[in-house]
Amino acid sequence: MVAAVVLVAAIGASTAAPVAASVANVDPDHPLYSLKRVGERIRGLSDTEQMKLRWQEYQRMVEKGKGLQYRSVLKEFVDKLNSVAPYDVKTKQEIIAWMQEQMPGVGEIRLRLAEQIAGENAEWRNEVRQIRTSWEGSGDQEDLSAGMLHLRERVRERVREEYLKVENLLETACLRMRVQENLSLAWQEARQRGESTLRTRFEHLREFFENKYPEVEAMLEGAPENVPATVAAKRLMTLASRENALALDAYEEDLLGRAVGIMTSAVMHLRNAERILERAQEWEPQHAEKWQQWRERWEEIRGEFQEVWENVQQNLEEFRRTIREKWGG
């Protein structure tokens, strides 16, 4: 507020109130928030500065228990995140560093919102607690994402639509940050070794995708039907397939940064689908027997195909037919 007073003394009366509100950084639930936004425009804040402010604001809203009510603030943050870190621009390293610093905060917000939504439901609260314990023990952001995606599927029919939209935005933000982190590494290598490094990274990602996709597809073939883990994994596989196609198109158009970024996202969807299936027995105790039977059968099938996973693409349709027959048997 001291800074605001100094600014008010230096500018005209017509802009004093908006700038003062902007400098004071009032929250979205404050009566002067609309003036704050006007003040941001007057001060000429960049998209990056606005992005950071929106995230700070949303964190405070969640702390106040108003995370669903102020979803628009989160959406603007995600929109700004996309605009300041596009696929085909060598993003400034300070922005990447800021994103990396926020990753734990995004995870914490996702867990806190889930806890708030769970309320007195002991089953949901226990699952959120398990996800938190696992994440805090490993620090693995992918493990957290897989857990939250599974939880979202479990509660989809029993929670307010606003929560699902908020969780989707948070997952998008988390995914975008991870993509930019990986893309930044690719740009660094490219500067040191030349453009071919980007092509090499893309080829490695594509090879991983082409080998992993049929494997997860095979896992899904025998998974219990109409249970949250299976539904969530199928959704992720659909996203992965769609983004794989987009990445290949970008590569053909020689948009290497975009291709690497989108393929990274596709691979992450695949990995999340795989993790959900692997953890389903733990996360769905009511279906534990089904998942145990599935696991035992899958171990048998995977053992039989262990030596041919890397060559699946050569005989993909035959592989799929054989997998269906083995699960059916």
Distance of alpha carbon 75 from alpha carbon 170, whole angstroms: 9
How wide is the angle at C-alpha 80 spanned by C-alphas 201 and 88, nearest 5°? 30
Does 127 lie in the same domain as 20?
no
| Confidence band, pLDDT 50/70/90 cuts, at residue 5 | very low
128 C-beta neighbours (distance < 10 Å), count: 23
- The verdict on 114 and 233 lying in the same domain is yes
Residue 76 included in any domain: no
107 in the same domain as 1: no
Asked whether residue 50 is domain-assigned, the answer is no
User: Could you tell me if 35 and 118 lie in one domain?
Assistant: no
> Is 303 in the same domain as 233?
yes
Kindly provide the residue ranges of all beta strands, DSSP E only, lying in 133-258, ordered along the sequence: none
Residues 25 and 113 both lie in one domain: no
60 in a structural domain: no
Categorize the per-residue pLDDT at 35 as very low, low, confident or very high, splitting at 50, 70 and 90: confident
Range with lowest mean pLDDT among 144-148, 179-183, 282-286, 299-303: 179-183
Q: What is the pLDDT of residues 68-103, one digit of tens each?
A: 999 999 999 999 998 887 766 666 778 888 998 999
Domain identity same for 15 and 89 = no
In a domain, 71, yes or no: no
Is 250 part of any domain? yes
Q: Flag whether 312 is in a domain.
A: yes
Q: Are residues 297 and 167 in the same domain?
A: yes
Given pLDDT bands bounded at 50, 70 and 90, which one contains residue 311? low
| Exposed / middle / buried, residue 72 (Cβ in 10 Å: 0-12, 13-18, 19+) | exposed
pLDDT for the residue 329: 57
What sign does the CA torsion over 219, 225, 226, 227 have?
A: negative
Confidence of residue 44 (pLDDT cuts 50, 70, 90): confident
Same domain, 102 and 40: no
**Does one domain contain both 309 and 198?**
yes
Burial 247-268 (b: 16+ CB within 10 A, else e): bbebbeeebbbbbbbbbbbbbb
DSSP state letters, 31-76: TTHHHHHHHHHHHT--HHHHHHHHHHHHHHHHHTT-TTTTHHHHHH
In this predicted structure, what is the pLDDT of residue 6?
45
Is residue 51 assigned to a domain?
no
pLDDT tens by residue, 144-181: 999 999 999 988 888 889 999 999 999 999 988 888 88
* Domain identity same for 132 and 213: yes
Domains: count for the chain: 2
**Average pLDDT of the chain, as a whole number:** 85
Evaluate whether 311 touches 214 at the Cβ level (below 8 Å).
Answer: no
Looking at the fold, whether 28 and 133 belong to one and the same domain comes out as no
Would you call 263 helix, strand, or coil by DSSP?
helix
The two tokens of residue 125 are 């609260």
How big is the chain, counted in residues?
A: 329
Is residue 29, in this structure, part of any structural domain at all? Answer: yes
Range of the domain at 263: 85-328
